[in-house]
């Protein structure tokens, strides 16, 4: 859906709409994040390198969010100038983490990076709680909805190739789908490369939680678990194209190739977001993507004769 496409049916009684982007994350501490990239878990990085990669990726994703929210602010301003019935849409940025001591670690990450003070959308924090990842994830949504937010888009910090359009389109689809549903329920999903999910967005009226979705003991992928819940509830849903996160070595190799391609394309393709911190870290680390020689030759000469 285009960035400024709106449902034809206006909800005149809604004078304002509160939206939030939720960056769900652990702090970039060695041994705590991206452990599957480390040598101890079969990868090629030290715990310190894995944490530094995640720090760069997290800050790049946060940078992307800030740019997108400014773009959404401007789009809403233009809409209101053209149509007085358009609600005032506000957008906030939250980092959700646990335990409470992790907030200070994130504050230090932003402080050491510089340039995050005085922004139109300051970084806000939540401390999510629960007995499992599913409960922590749902608790973060619940806290935001309890604070009066109407729509929440949740992403992770390990997606340096996340397109800016995904966040914009997630909000647009939530609005569009909610306008078609009497209960104003809506869910937007973007998968990752292994049948998981890289983006989850929903309205405050969506009767779907994450129980049994993540780390499912029956082996059901997260995307399939959400799909089953959609079938059970008939909640209107939208699907965005897959976005790769980075968990293992093959994911990192894929990200390296993509970031190098994006860097080249930004010279000619306006609007692309380049995760510059992550790419600079890759260059400093001397990492390169590689593939084994392909000996499965396609004998074209046998076809062409």
pLDDT digits (tens, 9 = 90+) for 276-293: 999 999 999 999 988 778
> How far apart are the C-alpha atoms of 191 and 203, rounded to whole Å?
19
Q: Is 266 exposed, middle or buried (0-12, 13-18, 19+ CB in 10 A)?
A: middle
In this predicted structure, the answer to whether residue 270 has a pLDDT above a threshold of 50 is yes
For residue 11, the model assigns a pLDDT of 44
In this predicted structure, the answer to whether residue 166 has a pLDDT above a threshold of 90 is yes
Give, for 96, the enclosing helix (H) or strand (E).
Answer: strand 88-97
Q: What pTM value is reported for the model?
A: 0.91
pLDDT digits (tens, 9 = 90+) for 61-94: 999 999 999 999 999 999 999 998 899 999 999 9
Count CB neighbours of 33 within 10 A: 21
pLDDT digits (tens, 9 = 90+) for 108-131: 999 999 989 889 999 999 999 999
Contact between residue 54 and residue 48 where contact means Cβ atoms under 8 Å apart: no
For residue 194, the model assigns a pLDDT of 86
Higher pLDDT, 298 or 28: 28
For residue 15, the model assigns a pLDDT of 84
> How far apart are the C-alpha atoms of 123 and 106, rounded to whole Å?
10
In this predicted structure, the answer to whether residue 297 has a pLDDT above a threshold of 80 is no
For residue 39, the model assigns a pLDDT of 94
CATH topology of domain 16-245: Spore Coat Polysaccharide Biosynthesis Protein SpsA; Chain A (3.90.550)
- Domain-by-domain residue ranges, the chain? 16-245
Which residues neighbour 207 within 8 Å (Cβ) at sequence distance 6 or greater?
183, 185, 233, 235
Q: Is 284 helix (H, G, I), strand (E, B) or coil?
A: helix
């Amino acid at each position: 859906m285009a960035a400024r496409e709106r449902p034809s049916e206006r909800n005149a009684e809604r004078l304002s709409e509160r939206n939030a982007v939720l960056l769900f994350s652990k702090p970039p501490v060695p041994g705590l994040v991206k452990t599957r990239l480390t040598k101890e878990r079969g990868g090629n990085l030290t715990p310190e390198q894995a944490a530094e990669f995640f720090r760069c990726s997290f800050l790049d994703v946060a940078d992307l969010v800030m740019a997108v929210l400014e773009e959404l602010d401007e789009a809403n301003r233009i809409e209101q100038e053209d149509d007085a019935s358009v609600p005032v849409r506000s957008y906030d940025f939250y980092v959700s983490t646990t335990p409470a001591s992790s907030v200070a670690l994130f504050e230090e990450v932003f402080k050491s990076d510089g340039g995050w003070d005085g922004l139109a959308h300051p970084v806000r924090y939540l401390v999510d709680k629960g007995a499992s990842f599913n409960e922590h994830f749902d608790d973060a949504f619940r806290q935001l909805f309890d604070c009066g937010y109407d729509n929440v888009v949740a992403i992770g910090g390990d997606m340096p190739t996340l397109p800016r359009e995904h966040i914009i389109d997630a909000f647009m689809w939530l609005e569009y789908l909610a306008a078609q549903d009497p209960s104003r329920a809506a869910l937007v999903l973007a998968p990752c490369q292994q049948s998981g999910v890289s983006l989850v967005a929903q309205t405050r009226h969506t009767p779907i939680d994450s129980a049994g979705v993540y780390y499912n003991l029956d082996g059901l992928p997260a995307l399939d678990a959400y799909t089953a819940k959609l079938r059970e509830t008939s909640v209107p849903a939208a699907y965005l194209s897959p976005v790769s996160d980075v968990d293992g070595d093959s994911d990192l190799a894929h990200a390296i190739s993509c970031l190098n391609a994006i860097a080249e394309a930004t010279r000619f393709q306006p609007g692309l977001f380049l995760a510059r911190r992550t790419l600079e870290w890759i260059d400093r680390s001397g990492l390169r993507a590689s593939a084994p020689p392909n000996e499965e030759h396609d004998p074209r000469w046998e076809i062409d004769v």
